[in-house]
Amino acid sequence: MRDPAKRPQVAERYRIRISFGITSRYSESRVLILASVDVGFSPILEDRFRAPGNRTPLTFHRIIRPINTNRKRTHFIRTVFGIRKGKVDMAYIRKIKSGRWLVEVRKKGFPNVNKTFLDLKIARKFGRDVESKMERNVFEDYSGASGTTLKEILIKYRDEKTILKKGAREETSTINALINHQISLNSLMRLKSHHIYKLMRELSKTRKPSTVNKYVNIICHAWRVAKREWGINLPAENPCDMVTLNRFNDTRDRVLSREEYQKLLDACRQSPLTMLTDIVKFAYQTGARQGEILKLKRSDIDFEKKLCTFYDTKNSADRTVPLADETLKILKQYRFGSYVFNVIARRLRKWFERAAHEAKIENFRFHDLRASFCTNALLSGMQIEQVAFLSGHKDWSQLKRYTRIKPEDLLEKINNVVNFK
């Protein structure tokens, strides 16, 4: 028989709040309970537990014996989780003043997780799921996504990414519209595909399909940048990838005829923008983009060699093209100022559209002057690689959308083929 003197002596009783687990019908899952019990500590273990008045938790990994008031039975309670360095390695649930259930998960090596629920069963399930993922080391912390709204990342994306793009002005306007939309109030965790779909349906009432796709693409890219570069832990699935973008045919077949070209020039001569006629002629004779024309400086023109260089073009490559004699006459008229055509894009677009309307030329844009140049160049007998060199297309296949040859344009050539001897 064991000597009673060698038994661990029970120290004074402490009423402490402990957390313990019991195995239940949830198989290996543990139901976490908070309770206040009278616990007796042996002197051997006394230094491993916190004493009254000391709020610093110590290690708690032993089987302890609660002191039963009637001393008829002894109950053994095994702690499910340890208490270390002020953090409880466990998940526990408690009811707060609002009536909701607060789940708090603390585990060493993982961020603290706190979440409230209305239903106790859902709260328990959440706690078990988080614990299980932590034990399997597959837990993902989405607290950053829950506390960050779409509006916040759109503002950051606009200020850090959009400002570096060539089309910054247009994209900034699109982002500002998204920021002022109700969808931007959603947190990144709550943003789902049905929000994107609803946005697309709403925008489709007043905007073109291509414009609607631009809105979605901006949200999609901002999401990816936030996840890859800004360190916000987001779910693997991007909500924008779950919706189908609008399908549309953006090809155009509008080319100015000789008669329409003359009517357009006559209308441009009546415009308050005196240089409008020369700008239209320059675009029609060089195939340059509107942005390239407005950024053209006098120093970019070599009048002796009859060459013109466009810098910082759309595809980020500089392009030097020859100039016709008639085109050189136009440029020689503008000898003052650093820029050849000193006008902003918005003003140019306004007066060009008005001139086209007065000339009764329908469905025609400034960019169609570039397509007219490419089409005329091919019809004049230039090889496709030569036209691509003048227009600045790196890929010849891209030139197809600017080549708007009609069957009647090939009548003379097909007769030459048939009558070839």
My answer on whether 262 and 404 are in the same domain is yes
Q: Which residues contact 404 (CB under 8 A, 6 or more apart)?
A: 252, 253, 254, 255, 371, 375
* Closest to 132 (Cα-Cα) out of 101, 112, 107: 107
Q: Which of 242, 271, 295 is the last residue of a domain?
A: 242
Q: Whole-number mean pLDDT of the chain?
A: 75
Best mean pLDDT range from 4-13, 81-90, 222-231, 349-358 = 349-358
Q: For 37-41, 72-76, 325-329, which range has the lowest pLDDT when averaged over its residues?
A: 72-76
- For position 314, which CATH number holds? 1.10.443.10
- Top pLDDT among 421 and 130 is at 130
Confidence of residue 417 (pLDDT cuts 50, 70, 90): low
| Mean predicted confidence (pLDDT) in 229-234 | 82
My answer on whether 151 and 130 are in the same domain is no
SS3 365: coil
- For position 163, which CATH number holds? 1.10.150.130
pLDDT at 252 over 90: no
Q: What does the alpha-carbon distance between residue 112 and residue 315 come to, in Å, rounded to a whole number?
A: 48
Tell me, yes or no, whether 50 lies in a domain.
Answer: yes
pLDDT value of position 233: 77
SS3 168: helix
Tell me, yes or no, whether 419 lies in a domain.
Answer: no
My answer on whether 170 and 205 are in the same domain is yes
Tell me, yes or no, whether 251 lies in a domain.
Answer: no
Question: Count of CB atoms within 10 A of residue 409's CB?
Answer: 14
Tell me, yes or no, whether 418 lies in a domain.
Answer: no
My answer on whether 400 and 284 are in the same domain is yes
DSSP 182-238: GGGGSBTTT--HHHHHHHHHHHTTTS-HHHHHHHHHHHHHHHHHHHHTS-----SS-
My answer on whether 18 and 133 are in the same domain is yes
Q: What does the alpha-carbon distance between residue 282 and residue 288 come to, in Å, rounded to a whole number?
A: 8
Q: What does the alpha-carbon distance between residue 152 and residue 219 come to, in Å, rounded to a whole number?
A: 12
Q: What does the alpha-carbon distance between residue 167 and residue 145 come to, in Å, rounded to a whole number?
A: 29
Q: For 74-78, 171-175, 304-308, which range has the lowest pLDDT when averaged over its residues?
A: 74-78
Tokens, residue 363? 């469905």
Confidence of residue 130 (pLDDT cuts 50, 70, 90): confident
My answer on whether 134 and 150 are in the same domain is no
Q: What does the alpha-carbon distance between residue 278 and residue 348 come to, in Å, rounded to a whole number?
A: 12
When divided into structural domains, the chain yields a total of 3
My answer on whether 235 and 279 are in the same domain is no
pLDDT at 28 over 60: no
SS3 395: coil
307 contacts 296 by C-beta, under 8 angstroms:
no
Handedness of CA 331, 334, 338, 340 (dihedral sign): negative
SS3 128: helix
DSSP conformation class of 331:
H
pLDDT at 138 over 90: no
Confidence of residue 358 (pLDDT cuts 50, 70, 90): very high
My answer on whether 333 and 406 are in the same domain is yes
Fill in the amino acid letter for 107.
K
DSSP conformation class of 57:
-
Cross-strand pairs, 301:
308
pLDDT value of position 212: 92
Q: For 68-72, 89-93, 242-246, 339-343, which range has the lowest pLDDT when averaged over its residues?
A: 68-72
| Mean predicted confidence (pLDDT) in 273-296 | 92
Residue 28: domain span: 4-139
My answer on whether 338 and 404 are in the same domain is yes
My answer on whether 273 and 368 are in the same domain is yes
Q: What does the alpha-carbon distance between residue 410 and residue 421 come to, in Å, rounded to a whole number?
A: 19
Q: For 9-13, 115-119, 200-204, which range has the lowest pLDDT when averaged over its residues?
A: 9-13
Confidence of residue 402 (pLDDT cuts 50, 70, 90): low
**pTM score over 0.75:** no
Which position has the token pair 């519209």?
177
Cross-strand pairs, 95:
101
- Top pLDDT among 50 and 356 is at 356
pLDDT value of position 83: 34
| Mean predicted confidence (pLDDT) in 268-291 | 92
pLDDT at 221 over 90: yes
Confidence of residue 47 (pLDDT cuts 50, 70, 90): very low
Q: Which of 89, 113, 139 is the last residue of a domain?
A: 139
Tell me, yes or no, whether 193 lies in a domain.
Answer: yes
My answer on whether 72 and 132 are in the same domain is yes
My answer on whether 189 and 125 are in the same domain is no
Which position has the token pair 């890859």?
228
User: What is the chain's alpha carbon radius of gyration, rounded to the nearest angstrom?
Assistant: 37
Cross-strand pairs, 141:
none
Distances (CA, A) of 402 to 72, 339, 361, 387: 96, 28, 19, 11
